[in-house]
A and B are shown apart, each in its own frame.
Chain A
């Protein structure tokens, strides 16, 4: 499992963001984006913190966090692998890429490897349809993939 870091410094950073933007009609979304950036996920403790700062119930915050796929309540691995399952990639065989990753990493979709190195997700269209099928590892885009390339690409991230 991936590690979750929460300390006073990080909470202070979130508080500054909320305070700085209080004058505007901000809404929850920008705050949740910030929290996701800072902590890598939005666990219950963070939700409670936001609830106190913004005077919104935890129930409502939980509802919003779980509605959007960009927000997660559990930490993700060091490297986030996203296989594009947009239509253009799908008709060009991205399911086979995903299957290969599942085989190679020994985890299912939306799971994290034991050592906390990789989290595997299937994403919506990343807009690089010209390179289909595509996967992203963190911010790197790998295009025109075939299942044979997967193990080589993964090994770059293993150390």
Chain B
């Protein structure tokens, strides 16, 4: 085997490939060839490192040197200085990796040192397109252990001991789910991986599929063994081309190695996996809608019971788990359920991956033990809000979740704790908002989403979300009344109680939680007809103050010709008058503010 003195890891996740990390990899390889050290240094394209904000990311081992925001033009210097001469290029380091001239390794940086990685353990470490690397990191050991040393009941028991709960949103105990699926006998049974990650701002499933696709295949095969199924489906979004292609490669490699297909490892157990592409319908993340979609129908949820464990795909018993849930399973089988349950808090065991996004310094993917507080995630790992803005709210659980405020920041993260506060774990999106975000507008945004994605099967969701959105539209445009607020609340609870599936039942959550925690903002919109943050354009008015010099720059750019020199005379000598905006014609485009000379800045927005 070829031994290398250095390894250069370049992120091949979606965030970094969007900023040309593949070209950086090619450039690095050609630079190493030019310097004649391509036999000493290996370049590896890995899955997501997690700190997407700083992408493209390059890490050099054995030192663990952390280069961030690498440009193609930087590659030559890194190759010549660092890899040839052994001198770290300090000005290209991640800003936090250099403290008082001492270079910190990637593991010592705040963003990583406070995390604990189980599901993501291989992301950013191995080449996801090479099965040998996965095997070198204990890959497929759990499958071998399950098939050769354990019977199906023991596998399920191990999961029950671990306390693992579904990572897709609802948090149902995984061991129980497997037990139910195993209890139904039929000639055909299925295992399905739900990779239809639809929550806006959530990208952990995608990163797992892109960074360590074999973990999911291995866990699905174990699930097949434990529940008595011989066929698996991965239902993945078509919007994730990199994840799909890496899954295809992984399935092909696993088959070549006899780890998937007929007679796996000569144990007589057969298991095959097929990929099914979603087609852009959020509701298909709901398990029964997903089944309908795999069967080639409109993705509309079915009534439960019967649950999929009894009647799933093609009417046969089906086990459905989320990507992240599966990604935890090989470690549980290898290290034991007890080990897993020693991490976390009583009702929530193990770790959870969150996608940190929005107004936060370190956007990216973090995996933390359950029980970590929101404050630790947002401030210690995420670095707080950028530009010294004030933190206002954090939204967890995507369109089904709720907004939490600064007073909730010390809550330990767990399934039950978040539900108690009116939000939910969801699949793990965590969007931070600062003082510039209008909470009424955010509620409207989520309603717009659920309204669009409602499948239309049941009336409370189909009609109710539309009416909710109309009410919010009225409030955001200054037409809202106090009556509208109470109607909003009443309708929200009605939809929650009467919808068929989780999409409808949780759709009003953003409205309910913002009404509860940010009622003053709603009142400002309704009574004062003002948007305190200035986001709701229709509630803004533009004024020209007495700083105006009468130059007319604003009037020349106004698309509606509603600015005229009709104010008081500002200069006796020239006879110039102050310009005035006719607010009845103004469309609030803001062009005048930009046109007003910065030194004058006579136009204000209120």
Residues of chain A touching chain B, judged by Cβ–Cβ distance below 8 Å, are 24-30, 32-33, 56, 60, 63-64, 67-71, 85-88, 90-92, 123-132, 134, 141, 143
Contacts and interface: CB of A to CB of B under 8 A. Distances in A.
Interface in B41-98: 51-55
B263 interface: no
A47 to B, nearest CB: 14
B576 interface: no
Contact of B18 (A63, A64, A128): A128
Interface string B217-255: 000000000000000000000111000000000000000
B200 A86 contact: yes
A91 B366 CA distance: 20
B235 to A, nearest CB: 9
A124 B15 CA distance: 15
B437 A143 contact: no
A130 B19 CA distance: 11
Contact of A129 (B201, B238, B276, B282): B201
B279 A70 contact: yes
Nearest to B16: A130
B298 interface: yes
Contact of B395 (A27, A56, A87): A87
B293 interface: yes
A123 B54 CA distance: 24
A33 B363 contact: no
B359 A92 contact: yes
Contacts of A67: 281, 298-299, 455
Contacts of B298: 63-64, 67
A69 B398 contact: no
6 contacts: A60-B297, A87-B429, A91-B431, A129-B355, A130-B51, A130-B52
B180 to A, nearest CB: 23
Contact of B294 (A29, A32, A63, A124): A29
Contacts of A87: 200-201, 357-358, 395, 398, 429, 431, 445-446
Nearest to B199: A125
Contacts of A127: 14-15, 203, 206, 239-240
A30 to B, nearest CB: 7
Nearest to B355: A129
B109 interface: no
Nearest to A129: B357
B296 A130 contact: no
A141 to B, nearest CB: 4
B239 A124 contact: yes
B337 interface: no
A88 B363 contact: yes
A132 B363 contact: yes
Nearest to A63: B298
B279 A124 contact: no
Given A87-B446, A88-B431, A124-B200, 12 more contacts: A67-B281, A85-B200, A88-B357, A88-B358, A90-B200, A91-B359, A125-B201, A126-B14, A127-B206, A130-B15, A130-B51, A143-B19
B18 A141 contact: yes
B546 interface: no
Interface string B98-117: 00000000000000000000
Given A129-B15, A129-B355, A29 B277 contact: yes
Interface in B412-470: 429, 431, 433, 437, 442, 445-446, 455
B293 A29 contact: yes
Contact of A68 (B274, B279, B357): B279
Contacts of B276: 27, 29-30
Nearest to A87: B201
Contact of A33 (B279, B294, B359): B279
Contacts of B437: 91
Nearest to B399: A87
A100 to B, nearest CB: 11
Nearest to A27: B296
Contacts of B14: 126-128
B13 to A, nearest CB: 9
B592 interface: no
A129 B198 contact: no
Contacts of A88: 200-201, 357-358, 363, 431
Contacts of B282: 124
Nearest to B51: A130
B550 interface: no
A108 to B, nearest CB: 16
B23 to A, nearest CB: 13
A60 B300 CA distance: 13
B280 A124 contact: yes
A125 B53 CA distance: 16
Contacts of B206: 127
Interface string B265-277: 0000000001011
Given A26-B296, A64-B296, A91-B442, A128 B15 contact: yes
A27 B446 CA distance: 32
Nearest to A86: B200
Nearest to B363: A130
Contacts of B278: 68, 70
A56 B298 CA distance: 14
Interface in B329-388: 355, 357-359, 363-364
Contact of B364 (A60, A63, A130): A130
A17 to B, nearest CB: 14
A59 B437 CA distance: 44
B294 A129 contact: no
Contacts of B201: 86-88, 125, 129
B296 A132 contact: no
A92 B203 contact: no
Given A71-B279, A126-B239, A27 B295 contact: yes
B580 interface: no
B480 to A, nearest CB: 20
A87 B357 CA distance: 8
Contacts of A123: 239
A85 B442 CA distance: 12
Task: Kindly name the residue among B238, B276, B298, B299 whose own CB sees the greatest number of chain A CB atoms within 10 A.
Answer: B298
Contacts of B314: 25
A73 B206 CA distance: 29
Contacts of B274: 24
B203 to A, nearest CB: 4
